[in-house]
Amino acid sequence: MKIAVKFFARYKELAGTAATITELADNSTVSDLLSALEAQFPALKLSPERTLISINQEFGTAASALANGDEVAIFPPVSGGSDSQKFALTDRPIDPDTVTRMVAHPHTGAVVTFTGVVRDNSEGKSVSALEYEAYHEMAIAKMKQIADEVHEKFPDVVDVAMVQRIGHLDVGDVAVAIAVSSGHRYDGCFEACQYSIERLKEIVPVWKKEFGPDGAEWVEGDHNPSLQ
């Protein structure tokens, strides 16, 4: 059977390609696929602890069964109006006020907005710029999932929007903006906004590369949704 494979972030660089088609025996698992990819691309080291897998845009594990025609994405732990507007990736500058207006309605009395900005340092190292990459289709799906989780956990929340920047960002640029609205300020609005950014960092497939005096390095997180 044939499996369509996509590589992201450092795995794309190590493989030297963004996508490939791999042939496997029937009834193969993700583990079999990882072994085949390591043989095909010797620079790849796909340890289950540091490699995230999605099968048709849903997280999988090494034991997950594969079927002919599946699309499998290989990536590291993430660092990271209409639905198409409220949940978006963009290579253009983000205006937080625009994101805020997406969730402001006549019946909402509170809007909390989180704005993430590129800073000039990270863990004691100087940073001159960032580069963000995303698995677009899955990222949008996971943003919508987070919004569903917010509505379930914070039933008084009215609306949610989140926009993530991709591509090259300089120090001071807005990397992400999340806005949450509710009827009143005490209706879980603050908590829901914090929950949204924490979940975005956990499950939305977006990665960043940091540029500094010593070169460039991909930054990866420690959260692996497949192991929960």
pLDDT of 20: 95
Token pair of 133 as six digits: 């990459």
**CATH 3.90.1170.40 residue ranges in the chain?**
83-221
pLDDT-based confidence at 61, cuts 50/70/90? confident
Distance (Å, whole) CA 151 – CA 146? 9
pLDDT of 16: 94
Residue 109 DSSP code: -
Backbone angles phi, psi at 195, to 5 degrees: -60, -40
Note the pLDDT tens digit of each residue in 72-109.
999 887 654 445 579 999 999 999 999 999 999 988 99
pLDDT above 90 for 118: yes
Length of the chain: 228
Q: Which CATH superfamily is domain 83-221 in?
A: Molybdopterin biosynthesis MoaE subunit (3.90.1170.40)
Note the pLDDT tens digit of each residue in 134-177.
999 999 999 999 999 999 999 999 999 999 999 999 999 999 99
Compute the average pLDDT of residues 31-38: 93
Laid out side by side, the sheet with 110-117 consists of 87-90, 157-165, 174-182, 110-117
Q: Report whether 206 contacts 134 (CB < 8 A).
A: yes
Q: Report whether 135 contacts 167 (CB < 8 A).
A: no
CATH fit for domain 2-75, picks 3.10.20.30, 3.90.220.20, 3.30.470.10, 3.40.50.620: 3.10.20.30
Compute the average pLDDT of residues 214-226: 76
